[in-house]
Amino acid sequence: MTPRMTKFVLAISAPLLALAAAFVITSIVLAAAGDPVLDVWKQILSMPERRNVANIIDNAMVLYLSGLAAAVGFRMNLFNIGVDGQYRIAAFTAAVVAGEAWLPGYLNTALAIICAMAVGAVWAGIAGVLRATRGVSEVISTIMLNAIATALVAYLLRKASVRVEGSNAIGTKVIPEGSRIPNISIGSGPGQEIYGFVVIVVLVGFLYWFVLNKTRFGFNLRATGRSTTAATASGINITRMVVLAMLISGAVAGLVGLPILFGDSYQYGSTFQSGLGFAGIAIALLGRNHPIGVAVGALLFAFLNEQSNPLQILVGVSPDIVAITQGTIVLTVVISYEIVRRYGVRLEQQAVAKALVPEPREPEEANA
């Protein structure tokens, strides 16, 4: 096998191994609980209809943004656990701004998007600044900020809300028609449309790839993630990088709720979808922080979500079983990547040793 081929096979085998393991573990749980294992998988793995495909893509968009937000942090060895809080406070801001409609048409939309990114960035930036200047672990501070964001949004929503017609739920003012982002049709029937926001999502994915892999800034960010000490010695200002990385992560997180806001709900209400942040962490891990990998991970999670929906009706099994599968994937994917990585390093060391005159020496401390 050529080295390129080997690399590719290794890269592919890790997630496949993880999926297989998660599949087996879920099956064991199902069997232990006395649920019909085969029927469950038959439903989940069945061919989705066009309408479901649209739902999967819509859901995947949101998860993809959440995954990218986490991935920016991961590339720097930062854990942005706070995507959850960041996207909620940002989506709320965007809903208020767009609902007020200070600007006409798409200018209004653009302003709302920018505000959302800014608010998300600021919320994550608090954690970044605390980390960079006071040494506070971003894991703990973002957890705290999540809870604060939840309470803050609840308070502000009550202040800024209008009652939704015909229900007890409250929400922000509805975004005017001219500022909504039209859906794109992928079929002829009803419900066969995906969010027009998809354009922005793809753009964000491209920018993520371009900035991280092609620019000096991206190099600095990745170098800092790999070794802060070497990065410092090479002249990178770590403090600045920590704050910047959190700001970017937060700005991307600020986009997470927007496909729904501009393509479906048109307002932020007490029923706005929550819990997208933690899924993003799982998806970023599954996709190895790679823009395409994260996209595949997001589609997979969205697929599992959509296909498990009718489980209760069809086979009488709670769709929550999918959460077990998804959580298990997070663990198995990390374990299998580690196993494959060690195997790969061994292979490469042997290749290096074989290619050269053998010289006895002590091994470099593999994990130093």
Q: Per-residue contact track with other proteins, 169 to 208, x per CB under 8 A?
A: ----------------------------------------
Closer to other proteins by CB, 188 or 229: give it.
Answer: 229
Q: Are 127 and 242 in contact (CB under 8 A)?
A: no
The least CB distance from residue 276 to other proteins, in Å, is 12
Nearer to other proteins, 40 or 119 (CB): 40
Q: Is the CB of 47 or the CB of 134 nearer to other proteins?
A: 134
Tell me whether residue 29 or residue 164 sits nearer to other proteins (CB atom).
29
Residues near other proteins (CB under 8 A), total: 98
Residue 303 contacts by C-beta under 8 Å, 6 or more apart in sequence?
A: 48, 56, 60
Angle at 327 between CA 302 and CA 288, to 5 degrees: 70
CA distances from 77 to 120, 224, 252, 254, 303 (A): 19, 8, 17, 20, 29
* Interface with other proteins, residue 81, by CB under 8 A: yes
Interface residue with other proteins, options 107, 189, 320, 343 (CB under 8 A): 320
Asked if 101 contacts 179 with a C-beta cutoff of 8 angstroms, the reply is yes
Site string for other proteins, 254-293 (x = CB under 8 A): ------------------------xx-xx--x--------
Q: Which of residues 21-60 bind other proteins (CB under 8 A)?
A: 29, 33, 35
From 36-44, 52-60, 163-171, 323-331, span contacting other proteins (CB under 8 A): 323-331
Specify whether the CB–CB gap between 72 and 280 falls below 8 A: no
Burial 336-367 (b: 16+ CB within 10 A, else e): bbeebeeeeeeeeeeeeeeeeeeeeeeeeeee
Among candidate residues 296, 366, 335, 350, the one with its CA nearest the CA of residue 60: 296
Binding residues for other proteins restricted to 96-155, rule: CB under 8 A: 130-132, 134-141, 143-145, 147-148, 151-152, 154-155
Q: How many CB atoms lie within 10 A of CB 62?
A: 25
DSSP 295-331: HHHHHHHHHHHHHHTTHHHHHS--TTHHHHHHHHHHH
Name beta bridge partners: 307.
none
User: Which residues, numbered 293-312, are part of the site for other proteins (CB under 8 A)?
Assistant: 312
168 binding other proteins? (CB under 8 A)? no
Contact segment (CB under 8 A) with other proteins among 100-108, 189-197, 261-269, 330-338 equals 330-338
346-365: contacts with other proteins (CB under 8 A) = 346, 348-365
Site string for other proteins, 225-254 (x = CB under 8 A): xxxxxx-xxxxxxxx--x------------
